[in-house]
């Protein structure tokens, strides 16, 4: 009997066992592909003290965001100083140095000196504000500035990685070269000039990225930490199972939907991949998907979390600042591109399931929506946040603070994930910990943008690319895409967007692309670097859970996320997708334009996906694959003529395929 039971145990049960095994390896995977997980080990009273410091930072950040009216040279240096303290307490110099309750003397020294450098600015803010007007900075203050910059650079290396520092190093060396040889200041005066610009003035480390991080991003990250403690991720996965679990190849469709929903909260490609992937990837493999495909689905869908309203990634807050556009407008304009992105992945997954003849999960093994409905109250914090932000009745910081309070209240009433004082304390601490890498990346992004602005390099790059493009917008878009993907390899989205917003977005704007469309373009291509080989961290995390070849998984993820490579070109050349219209356009025409662009884009993405997959109603021969892909591309190019050509090609191939599949079925 025991043997019989073992043989007839349902596939879902076996998949759940595999999911548990995968979950046991989550920490190891995160440490390998996510630097944020390589942290010191504190135990006993030291751990309690460490968590108290982290929680205190979260409370300090919320207080300053809501109530403080400090000078810029008080608010932002104090924020960076605190980040340095919690950053060095969290991250060791390298992975191997993770002895329990151990922090070497040089880390203590660097933490104290680095934080002290920024707190020196805080204490002397009034005096420095006056002296900066005449550049009257003393020699010892230059030394303090250099120490502060080194401390931020080293923290970024520990929490984010080397690639972003390589980019920053190139721009920093160029700034020194510029002052030494172009301005003929000599080495000492060049170092002085660069240090003042990058450390003391609000044009370097303390520029827009850090300002936005301190004002908005931190509070939203803390909100995300509280929301996760309510158990909303489990709710989203169960909801996705109700919606798509029974469909053909159901687990992969569940992965797409749940990753889109969970990504709204986390905003981290690797974190989202590992969190939802530990459940969905084993289920996909059990259904019949290849391991590299299962890992790729999760990576591609999780990466899209950063473009999914309402929270999106930290870069969305920066976009609002760079473009002087209300954040509520940003999230509204992001809806259609995000829907197209996830629809593209969904189409690829469906075609793969049809090609392999995969079934869904039996309905009796799926969650019952009626039983899930009582937990819909978990969405209250998210719904209220969206309402407050979109209505503009309150500031973003106040809206996030209200949402945090609601998440606590919701957690108190959730029996499965009760918000006890210990859980609340843990959420505050983990929110602070999640801020470190974002703030460090923002600081280095400030070094990069500061170096670019000090030297006038941005205008030189604009002139060079505009000359190469020679008035052809498509060439400028393609060159910008390459820059974003290359610079984005291993560089966090936040920092990548800051670099591109300073260098490439102005190029597109000069080429008559609307400012918001230009910034969305670089934002999208900064994100897809997480799944684009050779440095595709989200795809590699997915491959580790799926036990698949990393590079195969990365290439599959790139193919699945083909919409992310196409949609930005659509809204750059046809901004109506972002709800940007020419002056004088009537409401009726706006509706027509949006419907037209969405319908043609969906059909176009379907055509390209089918061509890449090689299947519609039955396997496609090489000629039909080329024809349907070409038709899809035609429909993605704005214009009535190209739409008609594309419709004929895509529709023609689909009709031939359908009739052929019917004949095959009749013969069988």
Query: Rounded CA gap, 233 and 268, in Å?
Result: 14
DSSP 537-593: HHHHHHHHHHT--HHHHHHHHHHHTHHHHHHHHHHHH-GGGGT---TT--HHHHHHH
Burial of residue 573 (CB within 10 Å: 0-12, 13-18, 19+) is: middle
Q: Is the pLDDT of residue 116 over 60?
A: yes
302 neighbors 345 (Cβ within 8 angstroms): no
Query: Rounded CA gap, 219 and 213, in Å?
Result: 9
Show the tokens assigned to 127: 């005096």
Q: What is the mean pLDDT of residues 549-570?
A: 86
- Of 322 and 98, the one with more pLDDT: 322
Helix 291-303 / helix 335-356 crossing angle, nearest 10 deg: 170
Please give the helix or strand (H or E) that residue 604 lies within, else none: helix 587-613
- Specify the pLDDT at position 32: 58
Cα angle 12, 541, 38 (rounded to 5 degrees) comes to: 120
pLDDT band at residue 6 using 50, 70 and 90 as cut-offs: very low
pLDDT band at residue 215 using 50, 70 and 90 as cut-offs: confident
Across the chain, mean pLDDT equals: 84
Cβ neighbors of 273 (< 8 A, separation 6 or more) are 259, 298, 299, 302, 303, 538, 541, 542, 545
H helical segments located in 307-456 = 314-322, 327-333, 335-356, 369-372, 380-391, 396-413, 421-455
Cβ neighbors of 413 (< 8 A, separation 6 or more) are 377
Show the tokens assigned to 257: 């939907």
- Of 491 and 399, the one with more pLDDT: 399
Omega of the bond leading into 314 within 30 degrees of 0 (cis): no
**Phi-psi domain of 308 (left: phi exceeds 0; alpha: psi -120 through 50; beta: other):** beta
- Specify the pLDDT at position 53: 96
Q: Is the pLDDT of residue 24 over 60?
A: no
Query: Rounded CA gap, 78 and 61, in Å?
Result: 10
Query: Rounded CA gap, 625 and 633, in Å?
Result: 12
What does the pLDDT look like over 134-192, one tens digit per residue?
A: 788 899 999 999 999 999 999 999 888 888 888 889 999 999 999 998 888 888 999 99
272 neighbors 266 (Cβ within 8 angstroms): yes
- Of 268 and 129, the one with more pLDDT: 129
- Specify the pLDDT at position 4: 43
Cβ neighbors of 41 (< 8 A, separation 6 or more) are 98, 99, 100, 101
Burial of residue 53 (CB within 10 Å: 0-12, 13-18, 19+) is: middle
Q: What is the mean pLDDT of residues 320-345?
A: 86
Query: Rounded CA gap, 424 and 431, in Å?
Result: 11
Q: Is the pLDDT of residue 13 over 70?
A: no
Burial of residue 489 (CB within 10 Å: 0-12, 13-18, 19+) is: middle
- Of 17 and 365, the one with more pLDDT: 365
CB atoms within 10 A of CB 165: 18
Q: How far is CA 512 from CA 467, 505, 506, 575, 583, in A?
A: 15, 11, 10, 11, 15
Q: What is the mean pLDDT of residues 62-90?
A: 92
Question: Which residue is it, tokens 């990365």?
Answer: 554
- Specify the pLDDT at position 268: 65
- Specify the pLDDT at position 5: 42
Buried b (16+ CB within 10 A) or exposed e, 575-609: bbbbbbeeeeeeeeeeeebbeebbebbbbbbbbbb
Rg over alpha carbons for the chain, rounded to the nearest Å, is 26
Query: Rounded CA gap, 185 and 298, in Å?
Result: 53
Omega of the bond leading into 310 within 30 degrees of 0 (cis): yes
- Specify the pLDDT at position 327: 82
Lowest-pLDDT choice from 48-52, 196-200, 550-554: 550-554
What does the pLDDT look like over 623-666, one tens digit per residue?
A: 989 999 999 988 887 778 888 999 999 999 888 888 877 766 55
CA 256 to chain centroid: 16
Q: What is the mean pLDDT of residues 392-407?
A: 84
Lowest-pLDDT choice from 28-32, 350-354, 546-550, 563-567: 28-32
Burial of residue 324 (CB within 10 Å: 0-12, 13-18, 19+) is: exposed
Q: How far is CA 182 from CA 185, 190, 410, in A?
A: 8, 11, 60
Give strand pairing partners of 619: 615
- Specify the pLDDT at position 97: 63
- Specify the pLDDT at position 1: 42
For every residue of 235-266, which 3-state class applies, written as one string? HHHHHHHHHHCCCCCHHHHHHHHHHHHHHHHH
Q: Is the pLDDT of residue 9 over 50?
A: no
Give strand pairing partners of 615: 619
354 neighbors 615 (Cβ within 8 angstroms): yes
Select the highest-mean-pLDDT range: 3-7, 459-463, 558-562.
Answer: 558-562
Q: Is the pLDDT of residue 66 over 70?
A: yes
Q: What is the mean pLDDT of residues 28-55?
A: 80
Query: Rounded CA gap, 288 and 297, in Å?
Result: 14
pTM of the model: 0.83
- Of 534 and 549, the one with more pLDDT: 549
Query: Rounded CA gap, 469 and 464, in Å?
Result: 9
Q: What is the mean pLDDT of residues 270-284?
A: 79
């Amino acid at each position: 009997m025991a043997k019989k039971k073992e043989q007839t145990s349902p596939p879902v049960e076996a998949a759940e066992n595999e999911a548990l095994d995968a979950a046991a390896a989550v920490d190891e995977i995160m440490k390998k592909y996510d630097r944020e997980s390589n942290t010191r080990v504190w135990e006993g009273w030291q751990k309690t003290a460490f968590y108290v410091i982290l929680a205190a930072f979260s409370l300090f950040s919320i207080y300053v965001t809501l109530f403080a009216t400090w000078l810029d040279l008080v608010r932002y240096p104090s924020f960076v100083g605190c980040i340095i303290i919690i950053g060095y307490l969290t991250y060791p110099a390298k992975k191997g140095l993770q002895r329990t309750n151990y922090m070497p003397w040089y880390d203590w020294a660097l933490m104290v000196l680095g934080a002290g450098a920024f707190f020196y600015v805080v204490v002397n803010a009034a005096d420095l504000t006056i002296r900066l007007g005449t550049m009257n900075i003393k020699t010892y203050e230059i030394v303090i500035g250099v120490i502060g910059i080194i401390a931020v650079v080293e923290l970024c290396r520990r929490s984010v990685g080397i690639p972003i520092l390589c980019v920053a190093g190139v721009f920093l060396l160029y700034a020194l070269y510029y002052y030494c040889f172009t301005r003929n200041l000599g080495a000492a005066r060049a170092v002085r000039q660069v240090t003042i610009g990058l450390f003391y003035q609000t044009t370097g480390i303390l520029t827009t990225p850090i300002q936005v991080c301190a004002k908005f991003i931190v509070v939203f990250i803390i909100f995300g930490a509280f929301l996760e403690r309510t158990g909303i991720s489990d709710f989203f996965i169960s909801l996705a199972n109700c919606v798509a679990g029974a469909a053909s190849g159901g687990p992969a469709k569940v992965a797409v939907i749940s990753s889109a929903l969970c990504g709204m909260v986390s905003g981290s490609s690797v974190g989202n991949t590992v969190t939802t992937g530990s459940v969905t990837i084993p289920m996909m493999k059990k259904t019949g998907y290849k391991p590299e495909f299962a890992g790729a689905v999760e990576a591609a869908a999780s990466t899209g979390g950063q473009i999914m309203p309402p929270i999106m990634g930290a870069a969305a807050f920066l976009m609002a600042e760079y473009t002087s556009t209300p954040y509520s407008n940003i999230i509204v304009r992001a809806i259609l591109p995000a829907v197209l992105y996830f629809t593209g992945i969904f189409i690829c997954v469906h075609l793969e399931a049809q090609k392999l003849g995969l079934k869904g999960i039996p309905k009796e093994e799926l969650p019952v929506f009626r039983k899930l409905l009582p937990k819909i109250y978990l969405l209250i914090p998210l719904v209220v946040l969206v309402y407050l932000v979109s209505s503009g009745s309150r500031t973003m910081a106040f809206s996030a603070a209200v949402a945090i309070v609601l998440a606590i209240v919701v957690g108190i009433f959730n029996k499965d994930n009760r918000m006890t004082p210990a859980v609340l304390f843990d959420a505050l601490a983990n929110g602070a910990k999640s801020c470190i890498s974002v703030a460090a990346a923002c600081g280095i992004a400030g070094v990069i943008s500061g170096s670019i602005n000090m030297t006038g390099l941005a205008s030189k790059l604009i002139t060079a690319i505009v000359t190469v493009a020679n008035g052809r917008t498509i060439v400028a878009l393609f060159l910008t895409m390459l820059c974003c993907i290359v610079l984005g390899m291993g560089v966090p989205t936040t920092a990548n967007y800051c670099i591109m917003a300073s260098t490439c977005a102005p190029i597109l704007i000069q080429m008559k692309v609307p400012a918001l469309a230009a910034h969305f373009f670089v934002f999208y291509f900064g994100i897809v670097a997480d799944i684009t080989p050779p440095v595709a961290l989200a795809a590699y995390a997915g491959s580790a859970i799926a036990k698949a070849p990393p590079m195969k998984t990365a290439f599959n993820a790139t193919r699945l996320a083909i919409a992310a490579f196409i949609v930005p070109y659509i809204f750059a050349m046809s901004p109506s997708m972002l709800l940007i219209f020419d002056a004088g356009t009537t409401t009726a025409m706006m509706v027509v334009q949006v419907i037209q662009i969405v319908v043609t884009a969906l059909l176009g993405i379907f055509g390209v996906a089918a061509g890449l997959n090689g299947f519609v109603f039955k396997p496609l021969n090489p000629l039909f694959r080329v024809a349907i892909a070409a038709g899809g591309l035609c429909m993605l190019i704005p214009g009535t003529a190209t739409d008609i050509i594309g419709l004929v090609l895509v529709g023609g191939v689909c009709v031939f395929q359908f009739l052929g599949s019917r004949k095959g079925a009749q013969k069988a």
